[in-house]
Structure 1
Amino acid sequence: MPPRPGVRRVLPLLLGWEELPKSVSVHGAPRDERVREPVPGILLECEDGWLLLDTGFNTALLRDPALRRRFYPSPSYQPELPGPGEPLEEALAAVGVALGEVTAVAVSHLHADHAGGLKHFAGRVPVHIQRAELAYGLSGRPEVERNTIFRVDFDDPRIDWRQADGDTEIAPGVTAVLTAGHTPGHQSFVVDLAGGGGYVFAFDAADLTENITGEHPVGAAIGVPPEATVAPIRRLKHLARERGYELVPGHDPAVWPELIGRLTGR
């Protein structure tokens, strides 16, 4: 029997931190309760090379004082970079992969903590996204930037967009699943491992474990009421349950470091 097509290795990455009100992640949480959440990336070794899910912050917008004041004016939201260099390069080097070895990218959505590193891949590799997400990001509507989607991160004619309309397989063993609500075209990912088993990565369809276990709506949604974000959570729970896969929340400060240690030995 031929080997099952699928992902050979899953390497979770830490691309930064962000301190913010918990109510951003959990609708109805007390406004004065704050959390320090990890910024995730996931590197997948596929049959055709390394696929990167999400890219972290645009470091220029954080390190240049004028740009930081321009794009991150609120003291209630404070992004942090994990080291002195480019987070993607440092995180990839830590698992023995060079930036130039990445052969494809997929972004869950266009928020600044997920799409800011696309500058590294413009003109180099295909980038998978939901059509509705890119259309919203490029719409020119004034609220887009207020929603922490910065056009400077992704409005580059050199980017080779691969746009999907709903669920689609983007590599053998990797399926993008439309989980709109947090943003108009947010996508999560189902990862089938070649040796059996797998993962469902929620990204911002469910920031924290309590979003999943308690089916609590996420606190930040675009164009829909917070209650509409529960249906994507339930769908991801169903996908994970029927496959027997682990469902991983996107920004949980306990889950993410543990997953990194378990899968990378770091």
Structure 2
Amino acid sequence: MTRHGVRRIVPLLLGWEELPKSVSVHGAPYEERVREPVPAVLLECDGGWLLLDTGFNTALLRDPALRRRFYGSPNYRPILPGPGEPLEEALDAAGIPMDAIHAVAVSHLHADHAGGLKHFAGRVPVHVQREELAYGLSGRPEVERNSIFRVDFDDPRIDWQQADGDVELAPGVTAVLTAGHTPGHQSFVVDLAGGGGFVFAFDAADLTENIEHERPIGASIGVDPERTVEPIRRLKRIATERGYELIPGHDPVVWPELMSRRGMSGA
């Protein structure tokens, strides 16, 4: 009998961001800074590739006036990996054409995760939590101050597929609601066709210490930082019950190691 699940996982690096560690770990000294990777994940599923997250909107970084408006804080520095579009360059390096992607899912709408949605408007369905999209489109002034830029995703051509909680996106891929970092943040459980799998926390847990020491994340919307520990515990329970590896979203050691790993495929 053929086991349904993900046949191949391809982690992608779409940039970096230099910022205070306190953004990722609540209570960390503000003067301590980290250089964190901007991740995305490609999953080979039945029917084609599913992309988890899309990186930055390069237009907001390369145009001087737009960069001043959207990235004017001296405490945060986004970095692109090359001269072109990071997603296109990463796909080229992996030998996967853009048109092979048959669906996209965003963990949340922060600028370093949803900025590449411009590549998919009018092309493929985009999975998101309903509460996340409602917040992003609410027009409330604090939304942009929370680094959710409406210009990245307010496009009538986007085929939104909205969920209200946990949902199976494809055989072997389940979105798990982990709200706290943003109102509708979602993480992903990936079952490999050959057995085993991974839990991708994304920004429910930025760093390994968020997971191992259950440290609250430093950036949350609408909840106290301490409330962000329960989503971490939930992901840990899922990973433990299934025997899966739990991958933090922005860890500068874990993510490069994951990209260099071989054998991330199912039979």
Distance between the aligned counterparts of 2:261 and 2:226, measured in 1?
Answer: 33
Q: Aligned AA for 1:81?
A: L
- Describe how 1:1-266 pairs up with structure 2 within 5 A: 2-263=1-262
Task: List gaps (5 residues or longer) in structure 1.
Answer: none
Give the 3 Å change call, closer, same or farther, for CA 108–263 of structure 1 in structure 2.
farther
After TM superposition, the runs of 4+ consecutive aligned structure 1 residues lying more than 4 A away are: none
SS of 2:90's partner is: helix
TM-aligned CA deviation for residue 263 of structure 1: 3.9
- What is the aligned length? 264
1:163-191 CA deviation, whole Å, 9 max, x = no partner? 00000000110000000000000000000
Distance between the aligned counterparts of 1:263 and 1:160, measured in 2?
Answer: 34
Distance between the aligned counterparts of 1:200 and 1:27, measured in 2?
Answer: 22
SS of 2:2's partner is: coil
TM-aligned CA deviation for residue 58 of structure 1: 0.1
Q: Aligned AA for 1:77?
A: Y
Distance between the aligned counterparts of 2:99 and 2:61, measured in 1?
Answer: 24
Identity across matched positions, percent: 81
Q: Aligned AA for 1:256?
A: W
Distance between the aligned counterparts of 1:113 and 1:34, measured in 2?
Answer: 18
TM-score (norm 2): 0.98
Distance between the aligned counterparts of 1:107 and 1:196, measured in 2?
Answer: 25
SS of 2:261's partner is: helix
TM-aligned CA deviation for residue 264 of structure 1: 8.1
Contact 1:10–1:263 (8 Å) recurs in 2: no
SS of 1:234's partner is: helix
Distance between the aligned counterparts of 2:68 and 2:187, measured in 1?
Answer: 31
Distance between the aligned counterparts of 2:37 and 2:250, measured in 1?
Answer: 5
Give the 3 Å change call, closer, same or farther, for CA 141–247 of structure 1 in structure 2.
same
CA RMSD of aligned residues (A): 0.9
Q: Aligned AA for 2:154?
A: D
1:198-223 CA deviation, whole Å, 9 max, x = no partner? 00000000000000000000000000
Q: Aligned AA for 1:198?
A: G
Distance between the aligned counterparts of 1:3 and 1:199, measured in 2?
Answer: 20
Q: Aligned AA for 1:114?
A: H
1:39-85 CA deviation, whole Å, 9 max, x = no partner? 00000000110000000000000011111001000010000000111
SS of 1:94's partner is: helix
SS of 1:242's partner is: helix
1:207-256 CA deviation, whole Å, 9 max, x = no partner? 00000000000000000000000000000000000000000000000000
TM-aligned CA deviation for residue 99 of structure 1: 1.0
SS of 1:74's partner is: coil
Distance between the aligned counterparts of 2:148 and 2:187, measured in 1?
Answer: 18
Task: List gaps (5 residues or longer) in structure 2.
Answer: none
TM-score (norm 1): 0.98
Distance between the aligned counterparts of 2:97 and 2:41, measured in 1?
Answer: 14
Distance between the aligned counterparts of 1:92 and 1:189, measured in 2?
Answer: 21
Contact 1:12–1:263 (8 Å) recurs in 2: no
